[in-house]
Amino acid sequence: MPLVKGGKIVEDSFVKLDVDAPLPAAGDILVPGDRFLKDAAALLARPGKVGVIWPNNRDIDELVPYLGKLAAVALVFPTFRDGRAYSQSRLLRERHDYRGELRATGQVLRDQFVFMLRAGFDSFEVKKQADAEAFTQTVKRYSVFYQPTGDGRITALHRRMQLRHSEGVGT
Amino acid sequence: MYAYDEIDRTLVNERVSEFRDQVKRRLSGELTEDEFKILRLQNGVYLQLHAYMFRVAIPYGTLSSEQLRRLAHIARRYDRGYGHFTTRQNIQFNWIKLAELPDALADLAEVGIHAMQTSGNNMRNVTSDQWAGVAPGEIEDPRIWSELLRQHTTLHPEFSFLPRKFKIAITASDHDRAAIKIHDIGLRLVKNEKGETGFEVLVGGGLGRTPFIAKTIKHFVHGRDILSYVEAILRVYNQYGRRDNIYKARIKILVHELGIEKFSREVEDEWQHIRNSSLQIDDSVIEDIRSRFTYPAYEKLPHMPDELRQAAADPEFEAWRKNSVAPHKVQGYSIVTISLKPTGGPPGDATAEQMDALADLAEKYSFGEIRVGHEQNLALPHVAKRDLPALWKALDKLGLATPNVNLITDIIACPGLDYCSLANARSIPIAQELTRRFANHELANLIGRLHINISGCINACGHHHVGHIGILGVEKNGEEVYQITIGGRADESAALGTLIGPGVKFDEVADVIEDVVEAYLALRERPEELFIDTVKRLGVEPFKERVYATR
């Protein structure tokens, strides 16, 4: 499954560990949330970056105390119909000021890219190679956004205000 | 009328391009049907019994003549020459080809119409009072706020994949014509003691197999906070709404399971985090939206023009005027409801020719504006009273002057088994038969206000729970069987109807309804007591006895 980061297809530096896989001596690891919470101190003390795979039905608040030490948080879309992780990602970015890698995993298709970027994701485990290759093109689909989110894109409402002032109308 | 600016136009065009690409990928096999399904639903495309069905949004029920003509064009060019107005200010086309859908959307985009989020598990078309902006006594025009919410809910990056569909309706009148109490969020525009605009917020209404009337979650949310408050409700719902069972996934179930107190505490907590954010709207934003609504330059006209006085001698005109014409906030003007319920016709259908002709009439007599109501009728919102006789003649020629608005033949019905892949039973033929039984307008007037709502399955698209008489089609041992309820209503006193007895067969439905009506005529205290009030006073028992005594 190709990983898109910074708009490009890249090698994944993280190794995913499931619940009981042996811990490698070094290297970057992505660990399920449960395993991480049970053993956070030891995992964070070893050499290599640590990321957490956080399920979409668990309160993100439990992860908050560790955010400063995490290199990545991977949120899950079990199917692309299930949109819970959009709320989790916005909370991580906008409320908890998380600045590390925020990865979308699961059924990630090109038609979600714009939503995901707007919600704060910056890396994507894309299901289909063709979708990963189309990333740059796809994220340019929209130039107008009605809602403010943490991605800083200017909203339609504010763009209108700017246009009005620059044209000197409505004064 | 709200006029799109370059920003709105750009977004709709970008959406059309995206959908064109998605259809192309589906036709080439790059997208599976399972993947494509979600994408097409987000653009209002269902796969029905015979063909794709295409649902187009008419936000808060306002259309220009140009837009209505374009809908006629869609019906003619891509469909079979007619369209069907729904209970949520949408229009549906039933015979559209997938490969042509992007072109149809592009044609609509040229006049500022879209089909975004008219289906799928997202925030649906924001609906409002079809008399918004013209009803006497209205607090202020709710369409300004509806448009604000339309924009905010369009392609929302967090709430486009909700547990289930999500519907918002807004009213600004004491008499609720927008049925806000059967919506996921109902907003009632109110003023606080300082005279500031805000909303009473209701949540958790909905019909379907587990119907609930919405409950008030907050008595006053200031207008500047309405986006953050709605966002807080949605965020709680997106995270905690059930996704394990489609029938328990609406917000009404979450509200019911948590209880309104706990649910409102969750929302309040969330809201406190986000209310002082960029979601807060200042007056200039509202004023900007308001400035893009154009209002007619009304003339100073007499209350009772000569034309109207003279036409009063014509009993047919008078029957129509008394039935279909309502007071306007400006003296000398009227609101005219246009019945799409002719005797023997499918409720809510209009032909391309009727739409074109109505667009012309709206230009001539209603400042180029048409409204669409949830009762599946249209309205001309600004008709000078002096023009009423001429308008009536023109409407009559088009078959659009049936004087049955709010009467027993003004039936709300879903498409039912004639079109819908979910239906268990036919709805339209039941409605057609009832309009024939009660075709005598004198009889219908004698009966008075009475709403019959028909759904062809438990999903309740025909709002049967809130019909004064509700008819629900189900399937039993391979046969269509209809359950009949009475006492429901969708207005400010919204209530769910009560079953009056065992289900009846297709052929017997009209007989039973006649018996219910006869029982009412015998039971009412005086002619002015409406059906719904008699049911409220006496309960269902006396009806049950009379209707089922001989069965």
Domains and CATH numbers, chain B: 6-109 (3.90.480.20), 142-291 (3.30.413.10), 306-397 (3.90.480.20), 412-548 (3.30.413.10)
On chain B, the residues whose CB falls within 8 A of the CB of A90 are 158
Radius of gyration of chain B measured on its C-alpha atoms? 23
Question: Could you give the 3-state DSSP secondary structure of residue B423?
Answer: coil
Q: Going residue by residue through chain B, which has 551 residues, state the pLDDT in tens, using 9 for 90 and above.
A: 788 999 999 999 999 999 999 999 999 999 999 999 999 999 999 998 888 999 999 999 999 999 999 999 999 999 999 999 999 999 999 999 999 999 999 999 999 999 999 999 999 999 999 999 999 999 999 999 999 999 999 999 999 999 999 999 999 999 999 999 999 999 999 999 999 999 999 999 999 999 999 999 999 999 999 999 999 999 999 999 999 999 999 999 999 999 999 999 999 999 999 999 999 998 999 999 999 999 999 999 999 999 999 999 999 999 999 999 999 999 999 999 999 999 999 999 999 999 999 999 999 999 999 999 999 999 999 999 999 999 999 999 999 999 999 999 999 999 999 999 999 999 999 999 999 999 999 999 999 999 999 999 999 999 999 999 999 999 999 999 999 999 999 999 999 999 999 999 999 999 999 999 999 999 999 999 999 999 999 999 999 999 988 77
Cβ separation A119–B158 shorter than 8 A = yes
Q: Distance (Å, rounded) from C-alpha A119 to C-alpha A141?
A: 16
Task: Give the count of Cβ contacts less than 8 A between chain A and B.
Answer: 94
Span A1-20, mean pLDDT? 94
| Cα first-last separation, chain B | 53
In this complex, is the C-beta atom of B11 within 8 Å of any C-beta atom belonging to chain A?
yes
| Cα first-last separation, chain A | 54
Cβ separation A155–B161 shorter than 8 A = no
Q: How far is CA B525 from CA B17, B225, B482, B487, in A?
A: 61, 47, 29, 17
pLDDT of residue B490: 96
In this complex, is the C-beta atom of B421 within 8 Å of any C-beta atom belonging to chain A?
no
In this complex, is the C-beta atom of B32 within 8 Å of any C-beta atom belonging to chain A?
no
- Contact in structure between B355 and B84 (CB atoms under 8 Å): no
Q: Which residues of B527-537 are buried (b: 16+ CB within 10 A; e: fewer)?
A: eeebbbebbee
pLDDT of residue A168: 54
Q: What pTM value is reported for the model? A: 0.96
Cβ separation A130–B30 shorter than 8 A = yes
Structure tokens at A8: 């490009």
pLDDT of residue A143: 96
Question: Could you give the 3-state DSSP secondary structure of residue B333?
Answer: strand
Give which of B2, B147, B158 to mutate to test A binding, by max A Cβ within 10 Å. B158
* Cross-chain CB nearest to A141 (options B7, B14, B281): B14
Please compute, for residue B414, the number of CA atoms within 13 A of its CA located in the half-sphere on the CB side: 28
Residue A56 CB partners (closer than 8 Å, separation 6+): A75, A76, A77, A78, A82, A84, A85, A88
Cβ separation B151–A144 shorter than 8 A = no
Cβ separation A142–B14 shorter than 8 A = yes
Give A33-72 pLDDT, tens digit per residue.
Answer: 999 999 999 999 999 999 999 999 999 999 999 999 999 9
- Contact in structure between B524 and B513 (CB atoms under 8 Å): no
Report the gap between the CA of B244 and the closest CA in chain A (Å): 11
Cβ of A20: how many Cβ atoms within 10 Å? Answer: 7
Beta-bridge partner residues of B475: B480
* Cross-chain CB nearest to B18 (options A109, A119, A141): A141
pLDDT of residue B1: 79
Give A61-107 pLDDT, tens digit per residue.
Answer: 999 999 999 999 999 999 999 999 999 999 999 999 999 999 999 99
Residue B498 CB partners (closer than 8 Å, separation 6+): B485, B486, B487, B540
In this complex, is the C-beta atom of B33 within 8 Å of any C-beta atom belonging to chain A?
no
Cβ separation A157–B158 shorter than 8 A = no
Q: Distance (Å, rounded) from C-alpha A130 to C-alpha A132?
A: 5
Nearest to residue B42, comparing CAs of A108, A83, A123? A83
Cβ separation B238–A146 shorter than 8 A = no
Q: Distance (Å, rounded) from C-alpha B368 to C-alpha B381?
A: 10
Cβ separation A87–B239 shorter than 8 A = yes
Q: Distance (Å, rounded) from C-alpha B127 to C-alpha B183?
A: 10
Element (H, E) at B13: helix B6-27
On chain B, the residues whose CB falls within 8 A of the CB of A131 are none
Radius of gyration of chain A measured on its C-alpha atoms? 18
Please compute, for residue B526, the number of CA atoms within 13 A of its CA located in the half-sphere on the CB side: 1
Q: Distance (Å, rounded) from C-alpha A76 to C-alpha A55?
A: 6
- Contact in structure between A73 and A102 (CB atoms under 8 Å): yes
Cβ separation B160–A111 shorter than 8 A = no
